[in-house]
Amino acid sequence: MLRQRFVLDTTALTDLHAREKLGMDGLCEGMREVLDLIASARLNLGISCYVPFPSVYKELHEFAQNNGCDSEVIAKIDTWLVKKAPDRYNVQIPSKIFHEYVSHMRERINKGMVIAEETIWDASTECLLMNTKAENKKDIGFEIEKGIIGPHIGKFRNKYRSALRYGILDSAPDIDVLILGKELDAAVVASDFGIQKWAEELGVRFVPAHTFPMILQEYLKHSESAVISSPENE
């Protein structure tokens, strides 16, 4: 069997849907379970799971510590995940990819600007309409702040984040995951749509984080079956 290699994003260990499928309630318990599967896959099948160093490795450490995970989880991260700095100088990526990425970013930024303009316009119009309903200036200020500006700003923030962040690479760890996956000819594991989209552009295999533990379980299950049915064991 060809040995598999995976490059993990932080979400490969923290994905909520994966945790639910494993029957784990807490974040730390879910991380521990996935790391135990990774350990079994490495010892029994030679499957290697990499994390970009120091970006994703540092992010995982901070995530575990900030969520109150014990030293055992930290030790499992250090033991079973192979830390490797991506070769940012020698991994070749076609210039067309960067051209498309810049165009994609410009499109998203313009979309965010349009949403902002629409939101400001809506808020201003509503303020003018309410002006005659208030008894004094203080009432106008309160009604504008609580009843109009607040909800519009909330909608604006949600739409702006969605327009600018969904489907794009917005952090150094995201890029490191893709570069290392390309360098090692490994599958990248994440729940981030931006990583998925650009993995497809780069010709890198992509595994959704919520299916990753099940894939390891399937490998291990069939490995055990192969050992049991081996002629040497009959």
74 by DSSP, 3-state: which? Answer: helix
pLDDT at 145: 62
Q: Comparing C-alpha atoms, which of 61, 80, 63, 53 is closest to residue 179? A: 53
In the numeric block, the tokens 């990753």 are attached to 212
Enter the DSSP assignment of 15.
Answer: -
Distance from chain centroid for Cα 138: 45
Q: Where are the domains of the chain?
A: 5-92+172-233, 95-165
pTM of the model: 0.74
Work out whether the CA dihedral 207, 211, 213, 217 comes out positive or negative.
negative
187 by DSSP, 3-state: which? Answer: strand
List the beta strands (DSSP E) in 20-59: 48-52
Reduced 3-state DSSP string for 81-134: CEEECCCCCCCCCCHHHHHHHHHHHHHHHHHHHHHHHHHHHHHHHHHHHHCCCC
Q: What is the DSSP secondary-structure string of 121-182?
A: HHHHHHHHHHTTT-SSHHHHHHHIIIIIIHHHHHHHHHHHHHHHHTTS--SHHHHHHHHHHH
Q: Which CATH class is domain 5-92+172-233?
A: alpha beta
pLDDT at 171: 78
C-beta of residue 4 within 8 angstroms of C-beta of residue 77: no
Per-residue tens of pLDDT for the chain, all 234 residues: 457 899 999 999 999 999 999 999 899 999 999 999 999 999 999 999 999 999 999 999 999 999 999 999 999 999 999 999 999 899 988 888 877 877 787 788 888 888 888 888 777 767 766 665 555 555 555 556 666 677 877 788 778 877 776 777 777 898 999 999 999 999 999 998 889 999 998 999 999 999 999 999 999 998 876 555 544 444
Enter the DSSP assignment of 232.
Answer: G
